[in-house]
Structure 1
Amino acid sequence: MSSTIPVKAAKNSMKIVEALRELNGAGVSEVAQHVSMPTSTVYDHLQTLTQEEYLIKENNQYYIGARFLQLGDYARSRRKLFTIAQPEIDKLAQKTGGHANLMIEEHNIGVFIYTAQGPEAVRLDTHAGMRVPLHTTALGKAIMAYLPRDEVEEIIDCRGLTKVTENTITGRERLFEEFQAIRERGFATDDEERVEGMRCIAVPITNEAGRAMAAVSISGLKRRMKGDKFTEEIPEQVLQSANAIEVNLTYS
Structure 2
Amino acid sequence: MAPEENTITATRTSLRIVEALKRLDGAGTTAVANHLDIAKSTVHNHLRTLEDEGYITKEGSAYRVGLRFLELGEYKRHRMDIYETARPEVASLAEETGEMANVAVEEHGEGVYLARAEGTEAVTVDTYGGKRVNLHCTALGKAILAELPEERVDAIVDEHGLPARTENTITDRAALKSELADIRERGHACDHEERLPGLRCVAAPVTSVDGDPVAALSVSGPTSRIKGDRFHEEIPELLQSAVNVVEINLTYS
- TM-score range (shorter-chain normalised) is over 0.9
Deviations 1:211-251 (A, max 9, x none): 21110000000010111000000111111111111010001
SS in 1 for 2:47: helix
- Distance in 1, Cα, partners of 2:221 & 2:6: 44
- Distance in 1, Cα, partners of 2:9 & 2:113: 28
- Distance in 1, Cα, partners of 2:33 & 2:166: 31
By how many angstroms is 1:33 displaced? Answer: 0.7
Q: Does 1:123 align with 2:124?
A: yes
In the superposition, the TM-score normalised over structure 2's length comes to: 0.97
- Distance in 1, Cα, partners of 2:40 & 2:159: 31
Q: Does 1:91 align with 2:72?
A: no
Amino acid at match of 2:14: S
Deviations 1:40-85 (A, max 9, x none): 1111011001010111111111111111110010111111111111
Aligned counterpart, 2:32: 31
Aligned counterpart, 1:143: 144
Percentage of matched positions with identical amino acids: 50
By how many angstroms is 1:4 displaced? Answer: 3.3
- Distance in 2, Cα, partners of 1:5 & 1:171: 35
Unpaired runs of at least 5, structure 2: none
Aligned counterpart, 2:52: 51
5 Å-filtered alignment, 1:72-83, equals 72-83=73-84
Amino acid at match of 1:184: E
By how many angstroms is 1:115 displaced? Answer: 1.3
Aligned counterpart, 1:235: 236
Runs of 4+ in 1 over 2 A off after TM superposition: none
- Distance in 1, Cα, partners of 2:193 & 2:168: 6
Aligned counterpart, 1:101: 102
- Distance in 2, Cα, partners of 1:30 & 1:116: 36
Amino acid at match of 2:170: I
- Distance in 2, Cα, partners of 1:62 & 1:170: 36
SS in 2 for 1:134: coil
CA RMSD of aligned residues (A): 1.2
- Distance in 1, Cα, partners of 2:175 & 2:25: 37
By how many angstroms is 1:186 displaced? Answer: 0.8
Amino acid at match of 1:251: Y
SS in 2 for 1:26: coil
SS in 2 for 1:135: coil
Aligned counterpart, 2:9: 8
- Distance in 2, Cα, partners of 1:96 & 1:113: 20
Amino acid at match of 2:174: E
- Distance in 2, Cα, partners of 1:223 & 1:28: 45
- Distance in 2, Cα, partners of 1:238 & 1:4: 43
Q: How many residues align?
A: 251
Aligned counterpart, 1:175: 176
SS in 2 for 1:57: strand
By how many angstroms is 1:5 displaced? Answer: 2.8
